Amino acid sequence: LVVVGINHRTAPVDVRERVVFEPARVPDALHELATLPPVEEAVIVSTCNRTEIYCVTDSGEVELGDWLQRYHQLGSSIQHCLYHLDDAKAVTHAFAVASGLDSMVIGEPQILGQLKDAYRTAQEAGTTGPVLNRLFQAAFSVAKRVRTETQIGANAVSVASAAVAMAKTVF
């Protein structure tokens, strides 16, 4: 299991914007990604604050960052902005993302819906399999449990609502 991504912590907005996948192009991108020799399963998560590629590979080594750069026809390297996570670290990351713990505003709920949409798109494209199916179902269960058993969503849940709350206290 491999996750390669870029997010609000690793890259500025202008870099993140260049690697966003248009929703209508994701199925084709998934099919192209699945043609890479070591890739057995794939899901692409692409939002305004993150683009992540979740893959199961037969060899463990695949240059997903290079593929991402080629796919978006970027002239300059984005390698310095990417994170690479394998196996247990990839699972932990998926759970944190689904639960809103890896968001710009901790606890924002939109990412869970975006993950579900990305997973559904990959299922429809035929690029998921037993490993990613299990990962995403577990991540959705963990996110639900975090939401029901903690107070994670009790405060501001978006950048806009956090800005409004800050403005109220300042002015």
List active site positions.
48
Neighbours of 71 (CB within 10 A): 17
Give the Cα separation of 71 and 29 in Å (integer).
8
Tokens of 141: 């269960």
Give the Cα separation of 4 and 77 in Å (integer).
15
Q: Using DSSP, state whether 42 is helix, strand or coil.
A: strand
Give the Cα separation of 124 and 139 in Å (integer).
19
DSSP state of 20: P
Beta-strand relationship, 50-57 and 39-46: antiparallel
Find out whether 59 and 38 touch, Cβ atoms under 8 Å.
yes
